[in-house]
Amino acid sequence: MGLTSTEENYLKAIFKIQERNGQAATNEIAAELQTSAASVSDMIKKLSQKDLLHYEKYKGSQLSEQGRRFATSLIRKHRLWESFLVEKLNFNWDEIHVIAEELEHIKSPKLIRQLDAFLGFPKYDPHGDPIPTEEGHFHQRKQIQLSRMKPSEIGAIVGVKEHSTTFLQFLDQQGLVLGARVQFNKQFDFDESVEVVINDTDRKTLSKKVSENIYVQLN
Amino acid sequence: MGLTSTEENYLKAIFKIQERNGQAATNEIAAELQTSAASVSDMIKKLSQKDLLHYEKYKGSQLSEQGRRFATSLIRKHRLWESFLVEKLNFNWDEIHVIAEELEHIKSPKLIRQLDAFLGFPKYDPHGDPIPTEEGHFHQRKQIQLSRMKPSEIGAIVGVKEHSTTFLQFLDQQGLVLGARVQFNKQFDFDESVEVVINDTDRKTLSKKVSENIYVQLN
DNA sequence: ATATTTTTTTAGTTTTGCCTAAACTTTTGC
DNA sequence: GCAAAAGTTTAGGCAAAACTAAAAAAATAT
């Protein structure tokens, strides 16, 4: 019983909203997928009939166990393909999302198993997001937002919260790449910007918006 | 101006038939795509309006220059992905066609350029078929069907005509893989089967059907 | 050369995924 | 607690790509 790409995209969107809110409201799904609430209402009915989610009129949607499995499998495929694009085809981390959105819909369990092995069973993708297991389990790392660091703490950049092209390109230009060492100096109260030292050499001031969207793991 | 996967599949089918017949009749396209002549008639009208092919009612179709470019680009993508699946992900040559049928529709010129480089700019795919250049040019090799060899001639297997899973698996079992050395001993008149020696060691008799579907390049 | 067969096109439906407009619930503000 | 606002569903349609059945054109066979 295969799903269409559209159905798969709904499951992924609902999963994402659920992680955030516990529940997925129709309007939120519509916003996430850039479509109308009416279309979402139609599709939800369909997915509910296929037992991929639980739904009561006017009450929002929640993925069923089966729906969750599909969604995490899609996220797994997406992140493995992103890893492939960066590690093997020399793409930059700001160019890969759109391509992986297409690749994730390719139907072949063996393809994904072989790809995983070829990549050396990576645990995190090029944005530092965890790659779920086949069973839908996500590795959890003790990471915090850079903006939450305390003076003199030291850590390493392990991920980003925001994934937009412009943000990722900005980080590249600033040398704020995954693995970079960050020493936190201080926070400036007037605009909540922070001063850090990158790789023991570059002293930088980062705006609140930037520091909130970078994840670090403390040493 | 992007095409749907369906439109792309029509272009590929028409290209294939044209290579064989010079012209693509509506019924032939329907047979190739396992669909009805009525559906083909509709789609041809659409592709004709997009100037991807030339079409006159009841006269069959021929790709335009633009249509041919699209078709060869699809074949290029298909064969590069097949090469990837075999060379990098350890698939067997009988498992790759269906997956490549999906992968070939991914829209990203850069993806294909990088993949090509990653694979070392291969000229032939795992079935021995030439991978066209970006400009749609096919390498031509002086190859003949094994069934056309003359006694005592020696050559190497470079490709197959038939691509079915059963045939490819049969060839594997017989050690008739790309690169194998073939010495032609004789043809038996009563059933046109042939006797060959593979890699200087295995004497084998091949049926007419098998020998016709293997391409060799003479030494 | 005309009648039959084959091929192709047209006409009318179906399904999927989307839309807008209108109707209906639920939530919120006073 | 009730009216306005916000959120959601229903109704009615549209476009793409398929289908079947029927009509029309081309090819063929006697």
Task: Give per-residue pLDDT as tens, B114-135.
Answer: 999 999 999 999 999 999 999 9
pTM of the model: 0.93
Mean pLDDT for the stretch of residues B9-25: 94
Protein-covered nucleotides on strand C (Cβ within 7 A): 7-12, 16-22, 25-26
Question: C-alpha distances in angstroms, B199 versus B154, B161, B167, B195?
Answer: 10, 21, 20, 13
Average pLDDT over residues A41-70: 95
8 A C-beta contact, residue A218 and residue A146:
no
- Map residue A214 onto helix, strand or coil: strand
Q: How high is the pLDDT of residue B16? A: 96
Whether the per-residue pLDDT at B2 is higher than 90: the answer is no
The answer on pLDDT for B1 being more than 80 is: no
Cα–Cα dist B190/A98, whole Å? 60
Cross-chain CB nearest to A114 (options B89, B106, B111) = B89
Any idea which nucleotide's C1' is nearest the CA of B34? D18
- In percent, the amount of chain B with pLDDT more than 90 equals 95
Assess whether A24 (CB) lies less than 7 A from strand D: no
At B166, is the pLDDT very low, low, confident or very high (cuts 50, 70, 90)?
A: very high
Residue range B197-212: average pLDDT? 96
DSSP E strands in A70-180: the ranges are: 144-145, 154-160
List Cβ neighbours of B63 (8 Å cut-off, separation of 6 or more). B11, B14, B15, B18, B52, B53, B54, B71
- From the number of C-beta atoms within 10 Å of its C-beta (0-12, 13-18, 19+), residue A187 rates as middle
The arithmetic mean of pLDDT across residues B159-187, rounded, is 96
B7 is near strand D: CB distance < 7 Å: yes
At B21, the pLDDT band (50, 70, 90 cuts) reads confident
Q: What pLDDT is recorded for position B219? A: 86
A168's tokens: 């990722």
With CA of A58 and C1' of each nucleotide, the nearest comes out as: D8
Residue of B nearest to A88 (CA): B118
d(CA A196, CA A68): 39
Q: Which of residues 104-123 of A touch B (CB under 8 A)?
A: 105-108, 110-111, 114-115, 118
Q: Which amino acid is residue A168, in one-letter code?
A: L
pLDDT tens-digit map of A121-151? 999 999 999 999 999 999 999 999 999 999 9
Which protein residue lies nearest to nucleotide C18, measured between its Cα and the C1' atom? Answer: A39
Question: How far is the CA of B152 from the CAs of B158, B166, B205, B218, in angstroms?
Answer: 18, 29, 15, 11
Nearest nucleotide from residue B37 CA, by C1' atom: C8
Partner B contacted by A102 (CB < 8 A): yes
Closest CA to B104 of B5, B203, B209, B218: B5
Run of H or E residues at B183: strand B181-187
What is the pLDDT at residue A21?
A: 87
Confidence class of residue B105 from pLDDT cuts 50, 70 and 90? very high
**What confidence score (pLDDT) does residue A219 get?**
85
Q: Which of B8, B108, B114 to mutate to test the interface with A (most CBs of A within 10 A)?
A: B108
pLDDT, averaged across chain A: 95
Identity of the residue in A89, A107, A114 whose CB atom sits nearest the CB atom of B102: A107
Mean pLDDT of B83-88: 98
Average pLDDT over residues A30-44: 96
